[in-house]
Chain A
Amino acid sequence: RKEVEQDPGPFNVPEGATVAFNCTYSNSASQSFFWYRQDCRKEPKLLMSVYSSGNEDGRFTAQLNRASQYISLLIRDSKLSDSATYLCVVNGAHSGGYNKLIFGAGTRLAVHP
């Protein structure tokens, strides 16, 4: 089983739609959770950090369910500019004082007019 699993998509949605991505993780001791956004051929950029049960930033809402070990990202009122790959990131095994971040392979979102 992969340490962080995401549905690769693509999710094809019209502008204005609401779309949700789920991500599951295997390490029950994980403490840090993030969603990153990556545009084609560009670097990943931090979208949201999730440190408690969840948080909201404008049209984006992230939820964390520790009991079931999954994280979700909800995007409301989708814009064309939301088209990107969304990476689920979880901190994992402890190594030399550093809990390395584990990156999911990403979920592709394509928003069309």
Chain B
Amino acid sequence: DAGITQSPRYKITETGRQVTLMCHQTWSHSYMFWYRQDLGHGLRLIYYSAAADITDKGEVPDGYVVSRSKTENFPLTLESATRSQTSVYFCASSEIRGAKDEQYFGPGTRLTVT
């Protein structure tokens, strides 16, 4: 029962580089999400996807790109990394049915941009 996995778990990159964070879930959940978590802030939604080929912006989408060609994968790309994108990134998934919209999280990717 793999659930939801993220890779890499840790990444150090330089300013200006492109970085892709991977997220994979085995539950066949329709919804997938990307959050970032920084000290002093709660989890902030970057992008989400309701199904394959359907994505939408969250609260802090600038500087990020997502795609969802398959239900189980939801990669997040930082097109040109900046130091302000140093953060912990969590992927989550959910099978939203009526009022039951709890989300389940992957282990996170700790990204440092130097």
Binding site for B on A (CB under 8 A): 4, 31-32, 34, 41-46, 49, 51, 87, 91, 95-106
Main secondary structure of the interface of A (DSSP, over half): strand
Looking at the assembled complex, report how far the CB atom of B60 sits from the nearest CB atom of chain A, in whole angstroms. Answer: 12
Looking at the assembled complex, report how far the CB atom of B17 sits from the nearest CB atom of chain A, in whole angstroms. Answer: 24
Find out whether the CB atom of A91 lies under 8 angstroms from the CB atom of B104. no
Find out whether the CB atom of B42 lies under 8 angstroms from the CB atom of A96. no
Find out whether the CB atom of B108 lies under 8 angstroms from the CB atom of A31. no
Looking at the assembled complex, report how far the CB atom of B109 sits from the nearest CB atom of chain A, in whole angstroms. Answer: 11
Those 8 A-B pairs whose CB atoms lie nearest each other, nearest first: A43-B105, A103-B42, A103-B43, A105-B42, A96-B56, A44-B105, A32-B101, A46-B102
Looking at the assembled complex, report how far the CB atom of A43 sits from the nearest CB atom of chain B, in whole angstroms. Answer: 4
Q: How many contacts between A and B, using CB within 8 angstroms?
A: 56
- Chain B residues with CB under 8 Å of A100's CB are 45, 48, 58
Find out whether the CB atom of A46 lies under 8 angstroms from the CB atom of B101. no
Binding site for A on B (CB under 8 A): 31, 35, 40-43, 45, 48, 50, 56, 58, 88, 90, 96, 99-108, 110
- Chain A residues with CB under 8 Å of B41's CB are 105
Closest to B45 in A: A100
Find out whether the CB atom of A51 lies under 8 angstroms from the CB atom of B99. yes
Contacts A42-B108, A44-B105 given: A98-B50 contact, CB under 8 Å?
Answer: yes
Find out whether the CB atom of A97 lies under 8 angstroms from the CB atom of B50. yes
